Amino acid sequence: MTGLSIILRTMIATLLIAATAPAVRAQQAPLQDKPFAEHKIVLQLSDNDSRKQGLVLSVASNLMKHYDPDKVAIEIVAFGPGIELLRPENPNRKMVESLVAQGARFDICLNTVDTLERESGKRPEFIAAATPVQVGVAQILFLTENGYTLVRP
């Protein structure tokens, strides 16, 4: 192999890696949302219980009130039955949207959405405020590896 062909192969490999990188960065974007946050919390919601949903929303709201909203990063990751919080007809929708307006982020697990679509034949709807992530648990792992504290109310 000539030096030129090695350079060309390296350039092609680099371009292919760069082309797939935006999908990875899209899931990792929350770390950039609040670069000056002194407190970083990820809340897990994995069941469809109205009391649990209320508790998760209450914790997020209380943290927003306690800390300067620019100094706290709050991310709620919903997966499994927990995605019901992010359905348009959920009675907590206004509270979710209020928290989003204050800077909280709500992630919805696309693996769960895909599973529900396969089971029912219809893709479930979720609110526009929900940020899709491919794997909810992987998002939690990513966040905790990057300084977020996991809270499971």
CATH classification of the domain holding 91: 3.40.1260.10
**25 belongs to a structural domain:** no
Locate all alpha helices (DSSP H) within 29-92, ordered by sequence: 30-33, 50-66
Report residues of the chain scoring pLDDT below 50: 4, 8, 10-30
pLDDT for position 2: 57
- Calpha distance 153→52 (Å, rounded): 7
Question: What is the number of domains present in the chain?
Answer: 1
**27 belongs to a structural domain:** no
pLDDT for position 142: 97
Tell me the whole-structure pTM to 2 decimals: 0.79
pLDDT for position 58: 98
**86 belongs to a structural domain:** yes
pLDDT for position 97: 96
**Adjacent-strand bridge partners of 106:** 76, 130
pLDDT for position 103: 94
**Adjacent-strand bridge partners of 40:** 73
**24 belongs to a structural domain:** no
Q: Supply the DSSP symbol for 81.
A: G
Judge contact between 61 and 91, C-beta under 8 A: no
**44 belongs to a structural domain:** yes
